[in-house]
Chains A and B, each alone.
Chain A
Amino acid sequence: MKFIALLVAVFTGAILMYAELDFPAWGDPQSPASTHLSPHYITQGFEETAAPNLVTSVLADYRSYDTMFETGVVLVAALAIMLILRRPWRNSIPGEGEEDSDDVVANDVVANDGAAPGDTRGGIATKSGAKAVSITTTLVSGASSDDSIIVRTACRLLIPVMQLFALYVLAHGHQSPGGGFQAGVILGASLILLALAYDLKTALRRFSEKRTMMVAVMGVLLYVGIGFLCLPLGGNFLDYSVWSNILPVSPVMARYHGMLWIEVGVTLAVMAVMFSIYVDLSSRGRLDEGL
């Protein structure tokens, strides 16, 4: 069976390599892709959108319809993962009963350590004692006890810098490499770093699940809303230049600023989606412990 799989893989690879011979050479200025539409973007892109970074103007203006649905796809991915993993109405997942009983035993041990000696009350009282002890521990240390203070301090220094850099990537995306998607991923990574260095509860206290999904939907809505508002202003869908009818800017700068705002929408959506996916994956949809 393995041999057949290898044979199929090698055969497919050989066919792909053979087909690749028909492609135009890399960077060939005579290839169809380079002669049809690219010259217009390269020669007129800066005059039409005032954005020096051609990638951003193509992505967020000329091909904005495509990017809008990409953002939607990212949101749908987060929703699908949440739909599969999140089971808020079910306390324990079948097949994991052993782990849960282990947790209870551990809690009992902790409670016995914390309670006064000679305390022989019933199981319910012990469990509530365990809860009280764990809450006190959380309040005192701010995180679970097995965290390294070096990691936490390093992350505390790193996370603000990451978020500031993400804002720079977002705001400077017109001039330099970067843009909404990268900024969103960096912002999401900073939240994931917070959840990794502390624990999931600390991160969720800062950015709860409800807020995460609201930010994700708001990001997509900002994108679509800016596109839709172009229609009553007299333009096509996602034609930002008509914003100059009501804003004191030229049509070119209206496109520039329209691109910036839809990039803000992409950033919000991607940041929230990355964090939501991490939260669901790392806690098996139970939002309790994390990694």
Chain B
Amino acid sequence: MIWQFDLILLIFVVIMAIAALQVRDLISAAVIFGSFSFLMCLLYAGMGAVDVAFTEAAVGAGVSTVFVLAMALHTTRRTKD
């Protein structure tokens, strides 16, 4: 894997992780988690684990985002801390 591309992806993964913790709106946090999963999917694909990347894209970026969104819409939209 090209290390420059790897580095950019890893930096974005860290940014997404911090952003998902910092943002107050839980809907935004869910969407940021989706993009986090998608970046992880790209990293897995770069390592050659295409099956894992496929699963991560389908489950992490797709379905689990919808689940978290459903929960956020039915509980509180804004986090307390």
Contacts and interface: CB of A to CB of B under 8 A. Distances in A.
A281 B70 CA distance: 6
A13 interface: no
A178 B67 contact: no
Nearest to B59: A185
A189 B47 CA distance: 26
Given A277-B67, A291-B73, A178 B54 contact: yes
A188 B62 CA distance: 10
B5 to A, nearest CB: 16
Nearest to B81: A2
Mostly, the A contact residues are helix
Contacts of A177: 50-51, 53-54
A272 interface: no
Contact of A282 (B50, B55, B70): B70
**Interface size class, chain A:** 20 to 34
Interface string A142-184: 0000000000000000000000000001000000011101100
A284 interface: yes
Given A281-B71, A284-B74, A291-B73, A189 B51 contact: no
Contacts of A284: 74
A226 interface: no
B63 interface: yes
Interface of A: 26, 53, 55-56, 169, 177-179, 181-182, 185-186, 188-189, 192, 196, 274, 277-278, 281-282, 284, 291
Given A179-B51, A189-B63, A278-B67, 18 more contacts: A56-B51, A169-B54, A177-B51, A177-B53, A178-B54, A181-B55, A185-B55, A185-B58, A185-B59, A189-B58, A189-B62, A196-B66, A277-B67, A278-B66, A278-B70, A282-B73, A291-B69, A291-B70
Interface of B: 47, 50-51, 53-55, 58-59, 62-63, 66-67, 69-71, 73-74
